[in-house]
Amino acid sequence: MRLINVKTYELEEFLDKPPNFAILSHPWGHDSEELTFRDVEEGRVHEPGVGSAKLLGSCRQVVADGLGYVRIDTCYINKTNLVELSEAINSMSRLYKGTSLCYAYLWDVPDDDRPDKPGSKFRTSRWPKTPQVRSASVAQRMSWAAGREAKRKEDIAYCLLGIFGVTMPMIYYGEGGEQAFPRLQEQITKKTKERF
């Protein structure tokens, strides 16, 4: 497992049990807004024009919370390696379960918005808990993705893998939603015996 050291901003590999770490849940932005695996490997974390705000802000917060490592998917996944990319996407929900802290990067929530503020986006969002996820019907779980936006259409299908407790082999990243959703439905049907 690769984690980012929050003091050196370098990737470190852990073959056995990793140390306690935080993970950043965030929407992927345009390529110019995201640090990539290659950027981190080549030490371009502070270069102008490289989308380092998420990484640097996350590292500051992780240090403040007393941990030494963070996992940010745009930085630790070598997207040029299809096997690694497939493994990362299929294991994402397991990683969230095994983390010490999970930060949600809510880019569309204004800085002055707080959960206790009337009309807050925090109040209007639905945050299902694990038991609610397990007891929800297939149709209800699918509806959670209805208004979701993603950089690539297939990412909407991939984000549902953990919610349904299924995996699926990657054909190639960039396959499109038209390819990914039928494959997802096939895996869900195999597991739940429910038809679409």
150-160: per-residue pLDDT in tens?
A: 778 888 888 88
Q: How far apart are CA 193 and CA 1, in angstroms?
A: 34
pLDDT value at residue 134 = 65
Strands 69-71 and 22-25: parallel
What is the C-alpha to C-alpha distance for residues 2 and 70, in angstroms, rounded to an integer? 9
Q: Supply the pLDDT for residue 113.
A: 61
Work out the average pLDDT over 147-175. 81
Q: Where exactly are the structural domains of the chain?
A: 1-111, 126-191
Question: 0.85 exceeded by the pTM?
Answer: no
pLDDT of residue 57: 86
The predicted pLDDT at position 152 comes to 80
Full 3-state SS string of the chain = CEEEECCCCCEEECCCCCCCCEEEECCCCCHHHCCCHHHHHCCCCCCCCCCCHHHHHHHHHHHHCCCCEEECHHHHCCCCCHHHHHHHHHHHHHHHHCCCEEEECCCCCCCCCCCCCCCCHHHHCCCCCHHHHHHCCHHHHHHCCCCCCCCCHHHHHHCCHHHHCCCCCCCCCCCCHHHHHHHHHHHHHHHHCCCC
What's the whole-number mean pLDDT along residues 111-122? 61
Which among 82, 85, 69 is positioned nearest to 28, based on CA atoms?
A: 85
pLDDT in tens, 36-93: 888 889 988 887 665 687 888 889 999 999 999 998 888 888 888 888 888 888 777 7
